[in-house]
Amino acid sequence: MGICEGRTVIVTGAARGLGRAYALAFAAEGAQVVVNDIGTSLGGEGRDTSAADGVVEEIRAAGGQAVANYDDVTDWVAAGRIVEAAISAFGDLHVVVNNAGIVRDRMFVSATLEEWDATMHVHLRGHFCISRHAVNYWRAKQKDGRDPDARIINTTSGAGLQGSIAQAAYSTAKGGIASLTLVQAAELGRYGITANALAPSARTRMTEQAFADKMATESQAFDVMDPANIAPTVVWLGSSESREVTGCVFELEGGKIMLEDGWREGPFVDLGAQWEPGKVGEAVGALLEQRVPPRKVWGTA
């Protein structure tokens, strides 16, 4: 038996790349999978249901259980239908993997309001809508005396944790998702729900476009950028074995699992009185000398 035997999982954006790898890996470990994908382009245009259907066929051909769903995670009513699809098909819901996303790369001085809004809409609203519907279901389940063993797995990014040149909107959205995860973990534990986030580094439509050289590892003995490398940690986080782990952000690449340390209080000085503006600069200079150097923004020298 796999570690997710009998658990029902929704994976959004599951038709390609990381989402497809997650769906296949969950199914291989015994989970029943809702493969959600509207089949858009990298920028969020168009619709193609065949991509999700293909993943379902792969899972079923390997002896697993899966259904396709083509609803839009950013639509409040449609997101509710995704949750309903899982319960209708498999009788329960245990895990939501928020993976769907788009990218609109642009230097900040050239960014448009439409691109900004579209990126926030898919990443932040998309994470909110389906998770909120799932939480409604899990809270009701707890009130009925059936204790949930539930998981929310969000997708942030290195861009969200440290910034990335030409990705102001994407970085902002992904940083927001990391913060959302912390709040969900703090609030939802009482209902038997954990919340964790991933910052995966793997070959996808997004990363092949932005980091082509780094993603070209197919010919190596160990294909570090294979999306399948990320899936085992995601599956474990979706299993019952991870019930004590919540509020964490994991950075994943190849065979590396790294636990992010988050924002912490750094060096400080307390005058015990109001500062004179002319003296603040000296104090800040001393603090900068004491701090641990931050990670560089992606794309800077």
Identify whether the C-beta of residue 173 lies closer than 8 Å to the C-beta of residue 156: no
Task: Give residue 28's Cα distance to chain centre.
Answer: 21
Helices (H) and strands (E) counted in the chain, each on its own, are 11, 8
Residue type, 54: G
Of 157, 164, 201, 242, the active-site residue reads 157
Does 174 participate in catalysis according to the annotation?
yes
Q: Which of 22, 164, 170, 171 is catalytic?
A: 170
Selecting among 131, 174, 201, 242, the annotated active-site residue is 174
The token pair at 113 is 């309001």
- As given in the structure block, the two tokens for residue 75 are 């639509």
Q: Give 123's contacts (C-beta < 8 A, 6+ positions apart).
A: 101, 102, 170, 173, 174, 176, 177
Instruction: Determine the Cα–Cα distance for residues 14 and 98; give it in Å rounded to an integer.
Output: 10
Q: Does residue 170 carry a catalytic annotation?
A: yes
Q: Is 157 a catalytic residue?
A: yes
Centre a 10 Å sphere on the Cβ of residue 200 and count the other Cβ atoms it contains: 25
Active site residues per annotation: 157, 170, 174
